[in-house]
Amino acid sequence: MSIRQGFLALLSEQPMHGYQLRQEFERRTGSAWPLNIGQAYTTLARLQRDGLVEPVDGAEDSPEQFRLTGAGIAQAKVWWSTAVGRERPGRDELAIKLALAVTVPGVDVAAVVRRQRDETLRALRALTKQKRDLDPATDLAHSLVLESQVFAAEAEVRWLDHVEASVAAYGSARTHTAGTADTETAGPARTAGGNNRPSTPTGAPTKEMTR
Amino acid sequence: MSVPLEMKGITRTHGHGVGEVHALRGIDLTVREGELVAVMGPSGSGKSSLLNIAGGLDSPTSGSVRVAGRDVARLGARDRAAVRRRDVGFVFQDLNLVPALTAVENVALPLELDGVRPGAARADAEAALADVGLPEVADRFPEDLSGGQQQCVAIARALVGRRRLVLADEPTGALDSVTGESVIRLLRARVDAGAAGLLVTHDARYAAWADRTVHLRDGLVAGTDGGLGTDLDELQGVDA
């Protein structure tokens, strides 16, 4: 996970103790993912258990410092040389919500999209406000972390626009509800102009429900 | 002091009869000094029509457009051109600068066209270039400037002399993301220094730099949201 890998990356610079690691991790990532000191020590303990870090002999009254073992150095290098996997993204509540919104009868999909876009734009503005006071020339790491969130919010707005346009073009998928045998062949909906359009099963005011 | 831009009940219809297209169907929009307003919307929603009418490049079918207090919709072609020279500056996606003129000559151009003596025009143009942080490019030609520098020079020209209203149509469209952001930062800084700005953009992350964003759809305002430091309850100037 990122904290574990982050600690290995930091320790590849120089030996550090737990408090220092936590401080450096937060400072460099712009405090986007605050750590409590307990998490820092738990992570260190696991890295030590796995043989990736080891204590450095030092003065008795100073906090225990850790350095990478040979295996730790190797793993720190592997992190830089491999891409972060995208094969199995985490469960995305918004994608699930929209998928259900177009299938559950009686949901005003347009309103769901609109509310979400307002919220995402609000978040985007809040992030931009933080960015505005930041000079990327002097605080690049913090800028990049903020921008990762800015671009993600922008992508979400674009996707929501696409959802809105798709629902307008294809209607919704409400014929496929649980327990309902779908005897018709599912296919791409025809756009306006098709004859003999059946009425929508739910009576919902979808524009292009043409199955 | 007069409001830089005040549009009321703007409609714009192209063509007649069956081919009639309603580009704008009743837009109210005000941009005050120190205010940057973004306009977003799908292609064909009326963004560019709105900008062209705001700047006197096109006339509305009905409604009033006041630029610095003067109703440009009621002015003749000659007077409208004078408003464009004195009160409004445009920044387009690209090809903003005259290739045969240096940066400072480009910035001085609207002043000279308006009868300002060359020496005074050059002094104002140099000041405008300094305001955008590019005093050193004054004597360089556009082809020797980067895309981002060209856009910054275009912003300097848009706000040279007494001009206070900059109308920007996708000013970042031809730029990479880092350069695009530096141009938006500059626009924001010039507006913070007292100018008024109307920014048409496809990118939500650039619109987020504005004080508010007007969302157009089918020639109507579909919604407005607040931006930097603006409380939604305090929104003024736009009525959907």
Contacts of B185 in chain A (CB under 8 A): 132
Q: Is B9 left (phi over 0), alpha (psi -120 to 50) or beta?
A: left
Across chain A, what does the average pLDDT equal? Answer: 80
- A118: nearest CB among B42, B203, B225: B225
Q: What is the pLDDT of residue B212?
A: 92
Average pLDDT over residues B155-162: 90
Which tens digits make up the pLDDT trace of B3-38? 999 999 999 999 888 889 899 999 999 999 999 999
Which residues, in sequence order, are bridge partners of residue A55?
A: A66
Question: Interface of chain B against chain A, CB under 8 Å?
Answer: 42, 185, 188, 203-205, 208-209, 213, 223, 225-229
Which tens digits make up the pLDDT trace of A44-82? 999 999 999 999 987 677 778 999 999 999 999 998 888
Q: What is the pLDDT of residue B227?
A: 53
CA nearest to B212 within chain A: A125
Q: What is the pLDDT of residue B2?
A: 84
Q: What is the pLDDT of residue A32?
A: 78
Contacts of A124 in chain B (CB under 8 A): 204-205, 208
Q: What is the pLDDT of residue B83?
A: 86
The neighbour count for residue A128, using CB atoms within 10 Å, is 23
Residue B173's contacts (CB-CB under 8 Å, 6 or more residues apart) are: B93, B94, B202
Contacts of A158 in chain B (CB under 8 A): 204
pLDDT band at B232; cut points 50, 70, 90: very low
Report which of residues B215 and A206 the model is more confident about: B215
CA dist., res. B226 & res. B233, Å (int): 9
CA nearest to B213 within chain A: A121
Render A134-199 in DSSP notation, one character per residue.
--TTT-HHHHHHHHHHHHHHHHHHHHHHHHHHHHHHH---TT--TT----SPP-PPP-TT-SSPPP
Residue B182's contacts (CB-CB under 8 Å, 6 or more residues apart) are: B148
C-alpha distances (whole Å) from B6 to each of A67, B123, B153, B200, B235 are 65, 31, 26, 17, 15
